[in-house]
Structure 1
Amino acid sequence: MNAFRSNIPDKTFEKLNNNGEFTRLAVSPGIINKHYTPAQFQTIAKVVGETGAIKYSASYSILLSIPTVDVDKTIEELENASLYVAKQGPIVAMKACDFCDGDKMEAAPITEKLYHSLVGITVPTRLRVNVNGCASACYNAIYDDIGLVYQKDSFDVYLGAIPMGANAQAGTLFAKRVGVKHIDAFLKRIIELYKEHARPNEPFYKFYRRTKCADYWKDLI
């Protein structure tokens, strides 16, 4: 019965903020790596201590609630343990599959290049790019704002997913077989269109579904 005990957590982000200033950090072993080490869990437990909180998320990361005054020191400790601390705010964020635990790494180099090129770009509201390394798309790329499904030397690009809720829907195939040499510029153009034409705080799926018949999307293809 342990699965049904203590259903109401003593510490949530909201409860902690009612009693002091806390910051939430999203932590993972990396963009591709999904395996934590015992030492990394020990570091997580140490930096959270008795005052913070730990929660798993659906985005391949663990959420930590940390006293805001300790954030810089905490990030340094986590990074020294080879943990990745995701950037926060209305920016382009990226996640990816585990490339079959490293057995299918063909798309890994271009994924790393896209990360360094795109992550952190300021957008109207947080924009999630999800890269899956083969056509199986086990990590549900098509259910993120921009889903990239790798095919040989190219990507199929899906746009406009509604990721959660009663009306959740997969994105639609926007462009097929965009070559790896062109995918960076292709994605940057999509991001530019979002920044230029979105309404304030408009989620990407609402923006795309509202504007998908606009000429600038046809010109992009």
Structure 2
Amino acid sequence: MNAFRKNIPDKTFAKLNNNGDFTRLAVSPGIINKHYSPAQFQTIAKVVGETGAIKYSASYSIILSIPTVDVTDATKELQDAGLYVAKQGSSVAMKACDFCDGDKMEAAPITEQLYHSLEGLTVPTRLRLNVNGCASACYNAVYDDIGLVYQKDSFDVYLGAVPMGPNAQAGTLFAKRVGVEHIEDFLKQIIELYKEHARPNEPFYKFYRRTNSEDYWEMLKSKTIKTGV
């Protein structure tokens, strides 16, 4: 019965901010790793203390609500424990599957390369890029703004998923078998189109569904085919 007995938490982010200034941090063991150590959980508990709150997220992370005055020190302490603290604001945010707990690591090197190249780039509003390391796509890459599904030496690229609401649906296949040697540049071009043509604060899925008949999308796909991606 504990699974249902307490449905209304005492410390939501909104309730905390009624009595002070709090900041949310999204924390995980890494982009690929999904396993926390006991010591990392102890650090999380210490950082949050009695004043903050901890919440599980559907985005492969734990959300911490921490007094804003403590954020700098808390972030350093979390990072020193080997935890990844996601960047905030209107930027590219990377997600990835666990590559079958390390049994299928073929796409891991290119995923790390994409992280260093794309994570944190400024965009009109937060853009979620999800990389899945095999065709099973069990971490639901096709349900994020840009979904990459790895298939031997290449990625299928999905765009424009509607993440929630009555019209929620998966993204559509935009380009098939984009080679690993071209995927970084390909994604940068998609991001540049978003930055150049989106309306202020327009989510990526709204932008893509509004513009997907524009010539620049077809030009991007045509260039992909011509270069033999």
**Bin for the TM-score computed over the shorter chain:** over 0.9
Amino-acid identity (%)? 86
In structure 2, distance between residues paired with 1:156 and 1:219: 18
Secondary structure of the residue that 2:47 maps to in structure 1? helix
Deviation at 1:19, TM superposition (A): 0.5
- The structural deviation recorded for 1:167 is 1.2
Map of 1:3 onto structure 2: 3
**Superposition pairs for residues 25-64 of structure 1, below 5 Å?**
25-64=25-64
Distance 1:98 1:217 in 2: 31
Q: Which residue of 1 aligns with 2:97?
A: 97
Task: Report what 1:144 is aligned to.
Answer: 144
| TM-score (norm: length of structure 1) | 0.99
Question: Corresponding residue for 1:198?
Answer: 198
Aligned to 1:78: 78
Q: How many residues align?
A: 221
Amino acid at match of 1:102: G
- List gaps (5 residues or longer) in structure 2: 222-229
1:21 partnered with 2:21: yes
The aligned residue for residue 224 of structure 2 is: none
Aligned-CA RMSD value: 0.4
1:160 equivalent in structure 2 = 160
Aligned amino acid, residue 152 of structure 1: K
Q: Which deviates the most, 1-10 or 44-53? A: 1-10
Residues 148-174 of structure 1: per-residue CA shift (max 9 Å, x gap): 000100000000000112211000000
- The code of the aligned residue for 1:189 comes to Q
The CA deviation at 1:23 is 0.4
Q: Give the CA deviation at 1:203.
A: 0.3
| Structure 2 Cα separation of the partners of residues 112 and 77 of structure 1 | 23
Q: Distance in 2 between matches of 1:57 and 1:131?
A: 18
What does residue 227 of structure 2 align with? none
TM-score by length of 2: 0.96
Amino acid at match of 1:156: D
Query: What SS does structure 1 have at the residue aligned with 2:17?
Result: helix
Q: Could you tell me how far apart the structure 1 residues matched to 2:194 and 2:116 are?
A: 20
* Aligned position for 1:214: 214
Q: Once the 2 structures are TM-superposed, how far is the Cα of residue 9 of structure 1 from its aligned partner?
A: 0.5
Query: Distance in 1 between the 2:207 and 2:5 partners?
Result: 42
In 2, the alpha carbon distance for the partners of 1:9 and 1:118 equals: 36
- Find the aligned partners of 1:119 and 1:169 in 2 and give their Cα distance: 25
Identify the residue that residue 111 of structure 1 maps to in structure 2: 111
